[in-house]
């Protein structure tokens, strides 16, 4: 892509210029197994591109369809400056999504699905892009009725760290009451290292200081309906369980808005997409 980038996108045009702001508020909907039981090594940008593509899937889609977008739209959604270098970087990230594998564990069927993320990508001279996700992802993205998690695309787009994005998704999955009660994510330090793709060599202290605390701080600063708190369970001097609480609830928001006219944004009506 780098060699021919000036030619490939020399006639780039603005597509859907009036709609990209609305698209940032689309829902991303995926099966819980793709959040907590999938193992992969995606960068923050690759995670955001995947969320953007998934947000274009409609509730009534019966198959994995080709997603039509453009380099212009991608830069606007991801808040990236529009230029040839960044277009080439985006193409490289999409290429990584085609090459990198994801392992998805299914405890019920006792299977592991090994697949990539993107089946193919086609780039047009005028900046249009056609993306097709791996067909093996269909059970985790289509026709979801139970065991799925949804969140606003803008939330993950606004997060810079891949650890923040992954922890955010885990907290959304842990919120089984849709904000009615405090959501809690519990696991051993090893569980958290696995969920977040942290270096296996990390001690709990490094995991907490280098990954968990910075991710919690970023999420609390940037996500409207999250107020995360880290707690630990010790046996002697050893931490045996880590707990992350989201202290924000709908009651919290309603109390905050008693004297304001702003409505609470529903995060659980996929049909409104």
DSSP one-letter code for 151:
E
Please check whether residue 225 lies inside any domain of the structure.
yes
Asked whether residue 126 falls in the same domain as residue 239, the answer is no
Please check whether residue 1 lies inside any domain of the structure.
no
How many structural domains comprise the chain? 2
Structure tokens at 10: 């020399």
Asked whether residue 38 falls in the same domain as residue 94, the answer is yes
The whole domain housing 120 covers 10-141
Q: Comparing C-alpha atoms, which of 128, 123, 121 is closest to residue 98?
A: 121
pLDDT given for residue 18 in this prediction: 58
Asked whether residue 130 falls in the same domain as residue 46, the answer is yes
The mean pLDDT of 174-182, rounded to a whole number, is 91
Distance CA 87, CA 106 (A): 36
- For the stretch 118-147, pLDDT in tens is 999 999 988 899 999 999 999 999 999 999
pLDDT given for residue 265 in this prediction: 47
Please check whether residue 116 lies inside any domain of the structure.
yes
Please check whether residue 5 lies inside any domain of the structure.
no
The mean pLDDT of 32-43, rounded to a whole number, is 96
Asked whether residue 135 falls in the same domain as residue 179, the answer is no
Asked whether residue 116 falls in the same domain as residue 51, the answer is yes
Q: Any idea what the CATH number is for the domain that residue 221 is in?
A: 1.10.10.10
Domain end position, chosen among 82, 112, 141: 141
Asked whether residue 218 falls in the same domain as residue 130, the answer is no
Asked whether residue 125 falls in the same domain as residue 164, the answer is no
Please check whether residue 24 lies inside any domain of the structure.
yes
The mean pLDDT of 245-271, rounded to a whole number, is 64
pLDDT given for residue 266 in this prediction: 45
Whether the predicted pLDDT of 273 surpasses 50: no
Please check whether residue 93 lies inside any domain of the structure.
yes
Asked whether residue 134 falls in the same domain as residue 169, the answer is no
pLDDT given for residue 271 in this prediction: 43
Asked whether residue 94 falls in the same domain as residue 124, the answer is yes
Whether the predicted pLDDT of 1 surpasses 60: no
Please check whether residue 3 lies inside any domain of the structure.
no
- State pTM to two decimals: 0.88
Structure tokens at 23: 């698209």
Whether the predicted pLDDT of 260 surpasses 60: no
Task: Quote the percentage of the chain above a pLDDT of 70.
Answer: 85
- Gyration radius of the chain's alpha carbons: 19
Asked whether residue 163 falls in the same domain as residue 96, the answer is no
Asked whether residue 245 falls in the same domain as residue 128, the answer is no
Structure tokens at 201: 């060599």
Asked whether residue 128 falls in the same domain as residue 245, the answer is no
Residue 201: pLDDT band with limits 50, 70, 90: very high
Q: Comparing C-alpha atoms, which of 182, 184, 192 is closest to residue 244?
A: 184
């Amino acid at each position: 892509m780098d060699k021919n980038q000036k030619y490939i996108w020399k006639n780039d045009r603005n597509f859907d210029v009036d709609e990209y702001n609305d698209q940032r508020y689309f829902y991303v909907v995926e099966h819980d197994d793709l959040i907590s039981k999938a193992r992969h090594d995606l960068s923050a940008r690759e995670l955001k591109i995947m969320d953007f593509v998934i947000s274009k899937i409609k509730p009534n889609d019966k198959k994995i369809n080709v997603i039509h977008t453009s380099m212009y739209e991608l830069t606007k959604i991801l808040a990236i400056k529009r230029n040839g270098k960044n277009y080439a970087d985006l193409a490289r990230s999409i290429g990584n999504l085609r090459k990198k594998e994801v392992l998805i564990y299914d405890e019920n069927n006792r299977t592991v699905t090994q697949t990539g993320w993107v089946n193919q990508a086609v780039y047009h001279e005028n900046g249009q892009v056609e993306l097709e996700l791996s067909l093996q992802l269909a059970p985790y993205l289509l026709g979801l009725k139970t065991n799925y998690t949804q969140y606003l695309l803008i939330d993950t787009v606004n997060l810079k760290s891949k650890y923040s994005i992954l922890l955010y998704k885990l907290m959304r999955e842990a919120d089984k009451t849709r904000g009615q009660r405090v959501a809690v994510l519990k696991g051993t330090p090893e569980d958290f290292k696995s969920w977040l793709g942290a270096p296996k060599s990390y001690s709990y202290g490094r995991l907490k200081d280098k990954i968990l605390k910075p991710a919690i701080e970023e999420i609390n600063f940037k996500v409207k309906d999250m107020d995360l708190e880290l707690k630990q369970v010790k046996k002697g001097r050893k931490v045996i369980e880590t707990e992350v609480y989201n202290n924000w609830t709908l009651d919290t928001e309603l109390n905050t808005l008693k004297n304001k006219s702003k409505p609470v944004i529903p995060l659980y009506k996929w049909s409104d997409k």
